[in-house]
Amino acid sequence: MTLFRGLSAFPLTPTDAEGHVDTEGLARFLERIQRAGADSIGLLGSTGGYAYLTREERKRAVQAAVECIGGKTPLVVGVGALRTDEAQALARDAKSAGADGLLLAPMSYVPLNEDEVFQHFVAVAEAGELPLCIYNNPSTTRFTFSDALIARLSEVSNVVAVKMPLAADDDYAGELARLRSMTPDTFTIGYSGDWGAADALLAGCDTWYSVAAGLLAVPALALTRAAQSGDAVESTRLNRAFGPLWTLFKHYGSFRVMFVIADYLGLAHVQPPRPILPLPEDAGDDIRQALEKLE
């Protein structure tokens, strides 16, 4: 079972200016990830721009992904939405299309409290009837899951994993020990924030939910396997090669950088959804130089 373990690669969702999904372009991204051997694919995550797509386009993306992947790589689908009933519908859509698991972030306009988030997750987990991962992403949702809320949700049927932000003070070992003492043995704990992945994996986390792997799955998988095996020297070397890219991710935001990478690799010439603007041309030179470090 690799659904919420190992390397989970999160591709862009290429669209036109009106938000219609380019299913052929999406297939190119997915085939690249599959050939590299990633443990799972995270469709319609933050990198996949789920918040900018209608329900119908999200459904089209999932259907196209399932057809492309053909069950060879586990598929996790993001189903976050402002309204609970909408997130429930998206979860049912994903299951009907053939997804293997769900990823849910507590999107909001009015700030949510813990009981509201708990009830939201219970409702979506029940509707989706698939293994579900908690998406703890305070940088975009402005909601931070407490340890107690994660522990409470880990007892809910179908809630089986959490995708965490980078640990405070880089204390991954401490955070993992704390969360594992509060959750079932089968509950998996992974991290996003690519520049902290090596440290998190070496500390024993279960999953790297990776932006970079959406287009650069081969070097990301090499880093994952080195860290999983406890090879600190090799994982440090590989992470150092990624260093210039991590710097650009932190400076520009990984979402924006990924569009430039897709163009540079010749996989798709697409722009981020407005109001997100493309990066200036001089950023492209820095991104190309960062990619050269990974060749």
- The C-alpha atoms of residue 20 and residue 61 are separated, in whole angstroms, by 10
How far is it, in rounded angstroms, from Cα 49 to Cα 19? 10
Alpha-carbon span 150 to 104, nearest angstrom: 13
Check if the beta carbon of residue 218 is closer than 8 Å to that of residue 240: no
Q: Is 163 a catalytic residue?
A: yes
The verdict on whether omega for the bond into residue 275 sits within 30 degrees of 0, i.e. cis, is yes
- Closest to 220 (Cα-Cα) out of 75, 27, 33, 5: 33
Catalytic residue list contains 135: yes
140 is in an annotated binding site: no
Catalytic residue among 50, 59, 95, 135: 135
**Rounded CA gap, 283 and 178, in Å?**
40
Contacts of 63 by beta carbon, 8 Å cutoff, 6+ apart: 97
> Rounded distance, CA 181 to CA 184, Å?
8
Rounded CA-CA distance 66/80 in Å is 19
Three-class SS state of 113: coil
Catalytic residue among 59, 163, 191, 209: 163
Query: Pick from 94, 147, 132, 178: which is nearest to 4 by CA?
Result: 132
Strands 207-210 and 188-191, bridge-based pairing: parallel
The annotated binding site for pyruvate is made up of 47
Active site residues: 135, 163
